[in-house]
Amino acid sequence: MLEISGIGGLILLILDIWAIVSVIGSGVSTGKKVLWVIVILVLPLIGFIIWLIAGPRSAPA
């Protein structure tokens, strides 16, 4: 059981890092970037889900 929760935590960490990198690369203001990063860090699972639904996307290349 410990291995399953460890893998789930690792997957969540990877997804949160991906979300933070995407927020930092987005075209929104610095204040909104900071707010999104704080939400994702303080509420890892819920913050990721909220970001996935309503968060800023990275700027097109």
Residue 40 lies in a domain: yes
Q: Is 59 left (phi over 0), alpha (psi -120 to 50) or beta?
A: beta
From first to last of the 61 residues of the chain, give the pLDDT tens digit: 567 788 899 999 999 999 999 999 998 999 999 999 999 999 999 999 999 999 887 666 6
Q: Which pTM does this prediction carry?
A: 0.84
Domains: count for the chain: 1
pLDDT of residue 59: 64
Cα 7 from Cα 2, distance rounded (Å) = 9
Residue 61 lies in a domain: no
Q: Which domain holds residue 21?
A: 2-54
pLDDT over 90 for what percent of the chain? 72
